[in-house]
Amino acid sequence: MQQNNDNSSIIDPIKLNRLAETAIKVGLQLQPGQDLLITAPTAALPLVRRIAEHAYKAGAGLVMPFFTDEQLTLARYQFASDSSFDKAANWLYDGMAKAFSANTARLAIVGDDPMLLSSQDPAKVSRANKANSIAYQPALEKIAGFDINWNIIAWPGTAWAQQVFPNETQDNAVRKLADAIFAASRVDLEDPIAAWSQHNAKLHAKTAWLNENRFSALHFTGPGTDLTVGLADGHEWHGGASTAKNGITCNPNIPTEEVFTTPHAHRVEGYVSSTKPLSYNGTLIDNISVRFEAGRIVEAKASRGEDVLKKVLETDEGAARLGEVALVPHSSPISKSGLLFFNTLFDENAACHIALGQCYAKCFLDGATLSPEQIAAQGGNKSLIHIDWMIGSNEVNIDGIQAHNTRVPVFRKGEWVE
Ligand code: ZN
Ligand code: ZN
């Protein structure tokens, strides 16, 4: 079906403009003279244009956008030769890595159809993803290592909106998704910049408490879950605004409700069940249940998408180990919206979650000065992937475990105890 992708007449221009301004002033804190690299779906052009305006007003050197297009992506699956699926734009990612090394800021706009590739050959999807992940690695290391200020925001793409609101007309679905994105991003408020500074202060109070407690592990219990997540040696909790290695304090994710740190890649034991479906590259993976031994997933099941899950776990050695553990109260605004967004940027902020794969170097004390070898020695995981999935609900309790096995209640029935 052909879709009208020009949503600019349906989407509130004032809130859209606030989102662009918030991305530049809160998400990136773009500095005078700094260049900006943007990736976006073609449909998000109206937002990209407003971002460029705010970037140049803030003194940006050069704003350079790169677009992807859903129809163009599908054309590859329909018409490309088999060998196409082992290719990736290495030259482009090398250029991105170079740009980041030269202190270019990075803004990513998400908004594609989460089911875009769901009816394509899974083997081709997985080959294309793998080729892309390998090519992207040098650039991803600079993002994951927090070398530069970066930010992700969302655009209410038409197909995405219809996935979230299947019973609405196309226009209403887009309007509703736009409103949900604006509310979660706090740009439905008159002064989003002030709202973000209050929100950041709240998240920082939580990370300060967790860092003072120096837990060696977190113990999650709930239906289908009895999981002990050992935390990496010298781990540090982060959440909200934080400072990149280039000295700029930014909010990498808009929205964000989580506080998060690095688990120990070899000290995770027990079993855990997902509490929300995971939308991964066009496949829905539902009712995940896995068992860990010495940090590695040794058994994995899912009621839907199990084959994709198993392929993901085989990506590399680190793909079956954890790279992140994050705490989000059940009462978070995104959770309260009751929506399943089919998009990690939103869904991960509705519940406590864990991530398979690559860890964040910044989640270590003095993380900026640690070499990859030191990070690995302290328990930081390394992988081509980083996939968050939700394990929190109003039935999940969490205890922090300190040295000598002292237990401190952290969450009860999905909410902070403190
Ligand atoms: Zn997270
Ligand atoms: Zn994550």
Spell out the domains of the chain, with CATH numbers in brackets.
8-184 (3.40.1830.10), 213-238+257-416 (no CATH)
Among 253, 217, 226, residue whose Cα is nearest residue 238: 253
CA of 326 to the centre of ligand 2 (A): 8
- The H-or-E segment that residue 48 falls in is helix 45-57
- Is residue 76 within 8 Å of residue 70, measured between CB atoms? no
Whose atoms come closest to the Cα of 386: which ligand?
Answer: 2
Identify the pLDDT of residue 368: 79
CA of 89 to the centre of ligand 1 (A): 27
Identify the pLDDT of residue 6: 60
DSSP, residue by residue, 367-384: GGG--HHHHHHTT----S
pLDDT in tens, 76-111: 999 999 999 999 999 999 999 999 999 999 999 999
CA of 43 to the centre of ligand 2 (A): 26
Pairwise CA distance, residues 331 & 414, whole Å = 8
Give the count of beta carbons closer than 10 Å to the beta carbon of residue 137.
14
Mean predicted confidence (pLDDT) in 54-83:
97
- Residue 321, beta-bridge partner list: none
CA of 258 to the centre of ligand 2 (A): 10
Whose atoms come closest to the Cα of 357: which ligand?
Answer: 2
Identify the pLDDT of residue 1: 44
Whose atoms come closest to the Cα of 353: which ligand?
Answer: 1
Whose atoms come closest to the Cα of 143: which ligand?
Answer: 2
CA of 360 to the centre of ligand 2 (A): 9
Identify the pLDDT of residue 5: 53
CA of 388 to the centre of ligand 1 (A): 6
pLDDT in tens, 367-393: 878 999 999 999 999 998 999 999 999
